[in-house]
Amino acid sequence: MSKAIKIGILAVLGLFIVIFSVIKLANSAPSDKTSDQISQPVNVVSSSDWVKGSKDAKVTLVEYSDFQCPACGAYYPVVKQLNQEFGDKIQFVYRHFPLRQIHINAEFAARAAEAAGIQNNFWQMHDMLFEKQKNWSGEKNVGDIFIEYARLLNLDVERFKNDLDLKEIKDRIEDSYQSGIRFRVNATPTFFLNDKKLQNPKSYEEFKKIIEEAILKVQ
């Protein structure tokens, strides 16, 4: 192969890489709607968040999660136990981060939780979705399954069905997702403790120790 041809091939490859990089950057850029929040710390609670514990707690645990994610399902009982043990000593913040490209039902599940939240049952639906994750994650018609969950929670089922498609709900989920993009979340679950990203603890005891140390630091 002549030197001129090699240079030509390298030039074409270089141009392709530049174009690909520009497209990728454009697709990953935060939306204008949320760009004004970029400078806020990750532990600042927004209107899109669901919160447990005390608002006055000096330790905040933020979780970016996907209801269909098996790893999130595995961490669910761990996080629930942490909330029960620490109570008002911490503030727990749940944020949606549906991995839409690989979890086709994650977005719908987030909408189901939000629709239940309108009837003050977000956490009840949150728990049910994780506890029954294996029952719905691989199904094609999850809408009927989620409606049955709403019935089990004694929700107004007709209202629940109507609320599933509310723009308000879709915007809340997207706001939550975009905040994760800004904080470089690229997997679920992702945890932040007092604005510091954690390497996911390998056990309940390890997670508990990390939180205990954080509480001691702020006392």
- What's the pLDDT score for residue 47? 78
- pLDDT classification of 17: cutoffs 50, 70, 90: very low
Strand partners, 62: 93, 192
pLDDT in tens, 162-183: 999 999 999 999 999 999 999 9
The β-bridge relationship of strands 91-96 and 60-65 is parallel
For residue 11, the model assigns a pLDDT of 36
Average pLDDT, the chain: 85
Query: What is the Cα gyration radius of the chain?
Result: 21
Structure pTM?
A: 0.81
pLDDT of residue 23: 33
Query: Which residues does 177 contact at the CB level (< 8 Å), separation at least 6?
Result: 96, 97, 98
161: Cβ contacts below 8 Å, ≥ 6 apart: 147, 150
pLDDT attached to residue 35: 37
Provide the pLDDT confidence category of residue 189 given band limits of 50, 70 and 90: very high
pLDDT confidence of residue 39: 52
